[in-house]
Amino acid sequence: MTRSLASGRKVLRVARGLVNELYLDDLRAQVHRTLAAKASRGRHVAGRSYGYTSEQDGNDRRLVIVPEQAAIVREIFDRYGAGESCQRIAADLNTRGIQGPRGGTWSVSALYGSPDKGAGILNNELYIGRVVWNRSQWIKHPETGKRERMIRPRSEWLVAEQPELRIVDDSAWQRVRGRFGDKHGERRTRGDTRGPFSADCSDAAVAVAA
């Protein structure tokens, strides 16, 4: 009788756990649908990027350009497009006492970030007035149980053109893209398989001191 009761309690715990997990999955799906609808209208649904602040707009929030920060963004694009390294640009910004995106010092990762994730000043399409959402998703690893960030197929991305949010012109954007392409080509030619970081921005985890 005791064993039967213990088994019943175990089954009940498993059942409750399954119900809770299904509820959370459904809740995540509902939240995702709501955010997707807002993103498709070009509304602000993600964290703020450097150069912008957000303001309440009815039931939503909208991004607004911060002029002082926008000037720094344009400077970064112009300097990198002209041939300066991420390290040199970050060090100069720190020397001048200009706060980084998180309120601290500038680092190489703040400038370069990750091309796949659209992260980093030089990879952020928002600066050319393009809002991209649903680029990635978090998936639980079947063995470790840890959540891992995976890039979605480009066909699943939600893209909305918002020209009023543009900070960088097309020529500056393309100069940076061209420089990234040249650096990546050099690495492939040399047989370097470390990944798609440019030679000037490869050490993405290093903070540059003033």
My answer on whether 134 and 84 are in the same domain is yes
My answer on whether 132 and 93 are in the same domain is yes
How far is Cα 141 from Cα 144, in angstroms, rounded to an integer? 6
More confident residue, 79 or 153: 79
My answer on whether 28 and 81 are in the same domain is no
My answer on whether 115 and 71 are in the same domain is yes
My answer on whether 28 and 83 are in the same domain is no
How far is Cα 41 from Cα 131, in angstroms, rounded to an integer? 10
pLDDT at 66 over 70: yes
Q: Which residue, chain included where needed, has tokens 């344009």?
A: 74
Question: Measured between alpha carbons, how far is residue 68 from residues 52, 72, 108, 198 in Å?
Answer: 10, 7, 21, 28
Residue 110 forms part of a structural domain: yes
My answer on whether 108 and 164 are in the same domain is yes
My answer on whether 35 and 71 are in the same domain is no
My answer on whether 97 and 30 are in the same domain is no
> Phi and psi for 59 in degrees, rounded to 5?
-90, -5
Segment holding 8, helix H or strand E: helix 2-40
pLDDT band at 158 (very low <50, low <70, confident <90, very high): confident
How would you label 37-51 residue by residue, b for 16+ Cβ within 10 Å and e otherwise?
ebbeebbbbeeebbb
My answer on whether 114 and 160 are in the same domain is yes
Residue 57 forms part of a structural domain: no
Residue 76 forms part of a structural domain: yes
Least confident span in 66-80, 85-99, 187-201 = 187-201
My answer on whether 161 and 93 are in the same domain is yes
pLDDT at 169: 96
pLDDT at 184 over 60: no
My answer on whether 25 and 77 are in the same domain is no
Residue 108 forms part of a structural domain: yes
More confident residue, 195 or 136: 136
Residue 59 forms part of a structural domain: no
- CATH number of the domain at 128, please: 3.90.1750
pLDDT at 180: 83
pLDDT at 162: 86
Whether pTM exceeds 0.85: no
My answer on whether 11 and 101 are in the same domain is no
How far is Cα 90 from Cα 107, in angstroms, rounded to an integer? 6
Least confident span in 82-86, 133-137, 167-171 = 133-137
Residue 116 forms part of a structural domain: yes
pLDDT band at 58 (very low <50, low <70, confident <90, very high): confident
Least confident span in 8-12, 81-85, 109-113, 128-132 = 8-12
Residue 101 forms part of a structural domain: yes
pLDDT at 11: 61
Residue 199 forms part of a structural domain: no
Total domains in the fold of the chain? 2
Long-range contacts, stretch 62-69, CB < 8 angstroms, 24+ apart? 63/126, 63/162, 63/165, 65/165, 65/167
**CB count in 10 Å sphere of residue 64:** 13
Range of the structural domain that residue 35 is part of:
1-40
